[in-house]
Amino acid sequence: MNLNDPTLLRTDSYVNGAWTAAPGDRRFAVTNPATGETVAEVADLGAAETTAAIDAAVPAQKAWAARTAKDRAMVMRKWYELIMANAEDLAVILTTEMGKPITEARGEIAYGASFIDWFAEEARRICGDVMESPIPDKRFLTFKQPVGVFGAITPWNFPIAMITRKVAPGIAAGCACVLKPAEQTPLSALALAELAERAGIPAGVINIVTGMDGPAIGKTLCDDDRIRKMTFTGSTEVGRILMRQSAGTLKKMSLELGGNAPLIVFDDADIDTAIAGTMASKYRNAGQTCVCANRIFVQDGIYDEFARRLTEATAAMKVGNGMEDGVEQGPIIDGQGLNKIERHVADARAKGAEVLTGGGRHALGGTYFEPTVLTGMTPEMEMFREETFGPVAGLFRFSTDDEAVAMANDTEFGLAAYIFTNNTSRLFRVSEALEYGMVSANTGIFSSEVGPFGGVKSSGLGREGSKYGIDEFLEIKFVCVGL
């Protein structure tokens, strides 16, 4: 791995401002999914070390919260500037351990950094209220105060952005964190910690615990009553486990869980816009995002033309090592993910779907999978119920608006949905009828630090980013003053 600043490649955990090895120097391998080669050996911490990180975070949080919001904002702004100054190295680290194309990695660095910039500003806008009192000799006030120390567990598919989207509002509010990054992609998290230390974020405010025993680390965070909030991005199954484990201590919860995103293309859509939006939504990060279009519904009148043009665009994609020029799709993260994609394609074909392009493992070998388009999809297929998390576009045919909405809502999930139409009335009518936390109209990319991110139903609780995101890390205190 060629870095301009090799010291960004850290392999020990970061606890209480110190780079911390595991007892007995236990380590686990981080591999490059594009090559299968070992990139680094990272400290393998467990439950006891997680408790030590909580021990450090508790006093650090109190001192950090005592500083002014302006002071915290200035430190965060320095962190943001260091991330942007080292963006290329961070992108190389990210692509090497996760596999996405370097151009996408560069975009993620900027996107991830934007949350630090945004919440540095929001730190200075945490305001309470003076309310009209119904009692003449009393005054009613509210204060907003940090919830305390929070635990965070982040996924491998956006190893920079999923951290900053959680940590930035938390520390802006005056909280401290103990964060467990995905074992597939810990190097990005540790590089962020290195830059946070350089920016002057105090010891104990950000703690990064790397380790293979995710269940033990997660349970430790959930069981400890000093952790007042848990924030997690990942599968619905694990989200339910964390919620159950946190019930005993009644923690605040933010859960960004699984999706099953519908993308609806109506007859009146601009087909160029719809194709571009579908490509962006479906194939970004090789289909390994929680908001990727998983079920593509196309109206009768343009179904055949849409299928033909989507197939042409998909077949033209360049697949390869994300560090190579022009690569648009990298490898799948691991064999487990690859097996699920294969299972979904085999199930669809067995139930009558037709493969227009792709459909199998790529000639490059490893965990590469061909960008794929399937037609003739039906609700009986596994892909209708489960999130594929891979580069497979399954096209479903529909006739009426009501039919499209009914199929789109026929899932336990409700994270993101997409619609393409040039009819303004239809746009609003369908957007309001879709049971999703986010609806993207006539564009395949919608995520921003300014917009609230989150889902409904089995896709989770709470919102990240936007002016609402910092509220997840605050408690409202009511003060009644007698005169």
The domain locations on the chain are: 6-257+459-482, 261-448
What pairing do the DSSP bridges indicate for beta strands 372-375 and 392-398?
Answer: parallel
Which helix (H) or strand (E) segment holds residue 38: the answer is strand 38-43
The CA distance from 174 to 473, in Å, is 9
Contact 122, 202 (CB under 8 A): no
**What tens digit of pLDDT does each residue of 196-246 get?**
999 999 999 999 999 999 999 999 999 999 999 999 999 999 999 999 999
Over residues 110-137, the mean pLDDT reads 96
Give residue 399's identity as a one-letter amino acid code: S
Would you place residue 290 in the very low, low, confident or very high pLDDT band (cuts 50, 70, 90)?
very high
Question: Are 35 and 201 within 8 A, CB to CB?
Answer: no
Q: Measured between alpha carbons, how far is 440 from 431 in angstroms, rounded to an integer? A: 9
Query: Does 1 have pLDDT greater than 90?
Result: no
Percent of the chain with pLDDT over 90: 100
- pLDDT at position 224 is 98
Mean pLDDT of 140-151: 97
What are φ and ψ of residue 317, in 5° steps? -65, 140
Residue-level pLDDT at 199: 98
What is the per-residue pLDDT for 326?
96
Q: Helix/strand/coil (H, E, C) string of 135-202?
A: CCCEEEEEEEEECCEEEEECCCCCCCHHHHHHHHHHHHCCCEEEEECCCCCHHHHHHHHHHHHHHCCC
pLDDT above 90 (res 294): yes
375 has a pLDDT exceeding 90 = yes
Q: Does the fold of domain 261-448 match that of domain 6-257+459-482?
A: no
For 403-419, write each residue's pLDDT tens digit.
999 999 999 999 999 99
Q: What per-residue confidence (pLDDT) applies to 75?
A: 98
Q: What is the CATH number of domain 6-257+459-482?
A: 3.40.605.10
The pLDDT score that the predictor gives to residue 343 is 98
Section 143-150 average pLDDT: 97
Which residues contact residue 364 at a Cβ distance below 8 angstroms, ignoring those fewer than 6 apart?
Answer: 319, 320, 331
> Domain spanning 261-448: which CATH class is it, in words?
alpha beta
State percent of the chain over pLDDT 70: 100
Angle among Cα 94, 442, 389 to the nearest 5 degrees reads 40
| Three-state secondary-structure class, residue 360 | coil
The model's pTM is 0.96
* Cα→Cα distances 303→271, 356, 378, 382, 448, Å: 11, 13, 14, 21, 31
State the catalytic residues: 256, 290
